[in-house]
Structure formats: structure tokens, C-alpha cells
Amino acid sequence: MYIGRIARAIRDPVCFDAATSAAQGNTLYDRFYPYHAELCALSEIRKKPGVGVQFRSAMGGHSLLYLSGVRLDRGAGYPTLKLCDESASPADHGVGISVNSHYRNANWVAAEGRDFVFQGALEEGEPLSLQSYDRTQKRAKAMGVLDGIEFHEHEFRDKPRAMSQRDYMYEISVGTDYAARFGREVYRAKLPLDRRRMAVIVDFLNALNAPYRDGKRFYRWSVFNDNCSHVAHNALAEAGFWAPWPTGEFVVTAAFNFPVPKNEFVNLLVQANDLPLDEPRALCADAVARRALLDWDALPTAPGALATVEPAVAENHVYDVEKLRLIFYDTPIWRNYQRRFARIFRDPRYFSLPANLTYFKAAYEKARQNLPGGGGDGEMTRFMTRYEQYLDREIGRLTAQLAEISCSADAQVEALA
């Protein structure tokens, strides 16, 4: 296998800038897809020398899973998730799920609120100073991000003598478990969901933490068998998006095939955008796609799965944010992930909402014309009947969404005139 760095040379500057700016415009997206997940690949992080407790990660980076429409149960005293009230706006609530080798009595922790998960207590455009860095940690403590969490004893070997264990835990968690953009570049792959599928993800994540809550079992992080990408991947698998990634495999076997954040960012966008929608027999033959449609009335490839990019805070007095690295795990000859990554940032349908919806509307209309006649076994017939209904519904939905985008664009032009 080949381990390489995301090279800036493979980025198309125009499209990469467009994907960066797309991260700022969430209003329409949140209205169209109030329940959604964001699988986030985070670059390495490097503390500047002499600033606070020294901390730097490996260039494999980190993975966060942001879930819109989900809240923390603040009264539980331990990381526990719940859906927002049905009367609330899902887009106004969300949590960032983080898996870390530090934890002894939990598989994951969660920080609440999109802004806090990604930019801590910083105001828009505010530099990261020692004051705003300290303010963010105080807010994290007030929010109880690490309430009920214990670290492995060996994690405290580098703790300054005058610092409490609790303060040290928040110090080495900032920029990883919360305030992700303080020292990391963030590559976010958005995936639309619905309340029913989000509820399944919430139940799955709560069940992952349950065995460690009483302290009778200790959580042991494993890069090959139980890392941050395993958890994010398998949470989405529970909602029928893709097949689960096995954990607990023989370490030598697992070492040749394990998920890493950069690969998973690409994998999600490919799975969510590139299945052959105009080949219904091929879709039916895909076990994941077949079960998704029959069980969830959804398909893994569907509108709204978009890439967004956010740089680390540029004016930064705490972290070194120059030339941050994020590796991918790839084949030495073909380097498929590098090619797919380059394609994502050169084709607007992967990061522009209007381009994405326009592409899917055309794809659905073509698929509608290519539906086969009768024949096949019972499950094939059920699939084709459900697929026809699915296409009719989604074409109608996309027509309305594109009309709303057009009206919104026209209104902006008029306002500028």
C-alpha cells in the first residue's frame, strides 16, 4: 500500500475556492436537508513551541462525525445522545462525535453546536489568541464536553505539575474533540438523512458507549481495529448507507485494510454520488442499494451529498497552520484515492448545491426512461416498483428545490441592482 500526502498540486484552485466558500452558505442546504451527517476529515495539528501544553498529532489526521438534529442529554452526566424535539428545527441543533485514544471509559465524546464544534468560542473573523483559546476551553467545561469522561493514566505523563487533571484533559482535547479549526484543515462530506435514520444512528452510538460507562470495561483505541473512522463509518452503515467495516479482526489482516479519515471522505462522496442510477438492474444487484430502497425508501446515491472545505484559523497565535498534512492510504501504482479526490474538487456537482441537484434531476429523468419491463423474481419486482415510485417523488422534489434556488438567486440579483 501507498501512504501519501494530500498534495496541493492536485487541487483545481477555482473549484477548491468554490468548495471553501460553499462551507459558508448553509441556509438553503439546512432547509432542504435539516437532518444530515457530515463526515469530516481533519488534518494533522501542531502546537507552536512554548504555547501551553505541547501537542501534535500524526499526519493521519482525525475524523469527526457531525450530526444535525441531534442533541446531548445534558442531564446524563456522561456522553449520551438524543434527537431534538420534533417541534424544533433540526438544523439549529447538532453534535460533533469524536473518538480518541485518551478515553478510558468511553468510545466517543460529543461537543454540541455547529459553531462550537468547528470554531470554538471564536467570533467570525476573530484571530486565535491566547485569550480566545482560554475562553474556548472555559466554555467547553461549562458545556460539560468531558463530563463523566476519564482518561487512561498514561495520558497524564506529560501533565505539568501545577495543572489539574481536568484542565489538562481539556487542554489536549481542544482542536481535536472540539474547536476543530483551531489548528486543523477540515474536509467535510455532507450526507442527507431523515429523522428515522438519524434515530438509528443515535441508538447505535449510545450502544457503543454503554459497555464502558460503569468503568468495568476499559476502552482501548486501535488504529487498525477501532479508530475514529471505524465509528463514523459504522454509524452510517446502521442507516443503510454502506456495508459496515469489521472491527476486532486479526491485526495482520486488518493492517492491510482499515479506514482512515481522508479515504473515508472520498469514499462517502463516491458512494453518495456515483452509483449507476440509470441502470436499475445493477442497483438491484447491489445488496446495500437494494436493502436501502426496500427498507428505508432511500438510496445511498442521492442528492445533497456535498464536499465543503474549511481552512484552519489563519491568524493563529497557538498552532502552526502552514502546510498541514493529511495522508491517504492508497495503492502504489493506481493511486485511486488521489485521482478521486482531484475529481471531487474539479467537478461542481460534488460541492455546489445547484449543480448537484441539476445533475440528479437529469439522472433521475434518464433512469425513469430506462426502467425495464416486467420479469424477474419477487424481490426484483418489488425493487423496480419501489424505484419507479422513488424516481417520481424525487423528480418532483428536485423540481421544487431548483425553483426555490432560482428564486433565491433572482432575489439576490434584484437586491444588488
- Domain positions in the chain: 2-16+37-274+314-351
Helix (H/G/I), strand (E/B), else coil: 396: helix
Q: Please say whether the beta carbons of 185 and 310 come within 8 A.
A: yes
Query: Residue 213: CB partners within 8 Å, gap ≥ 6?
Result: 78, 105, 106, 148
The 3-state DSSP composition of the chain as helix, strand, coil percent (nearest 5) reads: 45, 15, 40
**Taking the mean position of all CA atoms in its chain, how far away is CA 309?**
12
What is the C-alpha separation between 312 and 280, in angstroms, rounded?
Answer: 42
Q: Using N-to-C axis directions, what is the helix angle for 261-273 and 336-344, rounded to 10°?
A: 60
Pick from 197, 161, 370: nearest CA to 277: 370
Tens digit of each residue's pLDDT, the chain (417 residues): 444 444 333 344 545 566 665 655 578 999 999 999 999 999 999 999 989 888 888 888 999 999 999 999 989 999 999 999 999 999 999 999 999 999 999 999 999 999 999 999 999 889 999 999 999 999 999 999 999 999 999 999 999 999 999 999 999 999 999 999 999 999 999 999 999 999 999 999 999 999 999 888 999 999 889 999 999 999 999 999 999 999 988 887 888 888 999 999 999 999 999 999 999 999 999 999 999 999 999 999 999 999 999 999 999 999 999 999 998 887 555 568 888 999 999 999 999 999 999 999 999 999 999 888 765 678 889 999 999 999 999 999 999 999 999 987 655 544 444
Instruction: Count CB-CB contacts under 10 A for residue 304.
Output: 19
Confidence at residue 9, expressed as pLDDT on a 0 to 100 scale: 34
Taking the CA atoms of residue 65, residue 66, residue 70 and residue 71 in that order, the dihedral angle to the nearest 10 degrees is 90
Q: Which residue has the cell 450526507?
A: 191
Confidence at residue 374, expressed as pLDDT on a 0 to 100 scale: 64
| 94-98 vs 62-68, strand pairing mode | antiparallel
Residue 373: HSE in the Cβ half-sphere, 13 Å Cα cutoff:
0
Helix (H/G/I), strand (E/B), else coil: 393: helix
What is the C-alpha separation between 298 and 293, in angstroms, rounded?
Answer: 5
Instruction: Name the DSSP class of 182.
Output: G
Instruction: Count CB-CB contacts under 10 A for residue 295.
Output: 9
Joined grid coordinates for residue 345: 474538487
Q: Please say whether the beta carbons of 274 and 301 come within 8 A.
A: yes
Instruction: Name the DSSP class of 300.
Output: S
Confidence at residue 6, expressed as pLDDT on a 0 to 100 scale: 40
What is the C-alpha separation between 71 and 148, in angstroms, rounded?
Answer: 17
What is the C-alpha separation between 140 and 121, in angstroms, rounded?
Answer: 9
Q: Using N-to-C axis directions, what is the helix angle for 353-369 and 378-416, rounded to 10°?
A: 140
Residue 393: HSE in the Cβ half-sphere, 13 Å Cα cutoff:
10
Instruction: Name the DSSP class of 356.
Output: H
Confidence at residue 21, expressed as pLDDT on a 0 to 100 scale: 56
The pTM assigned to this predicted structure is: 0.92
Instruction: Count CB-CB contacts under 10 A for residue 258.
Output: 22
Joined grid coordinates for residue 347: 467537478
CA distance between the termini of the chain = 55
What is the C-alpha separation between 274 and 407, in angstroms, rounded?
Answer: 29
What is the C-alpha separation between 374 and 353, in angstroms, rounded?
Answer: 36
What is the C-alpha separation between 58 and 79, in angstroms, rounded?
Answer: 26
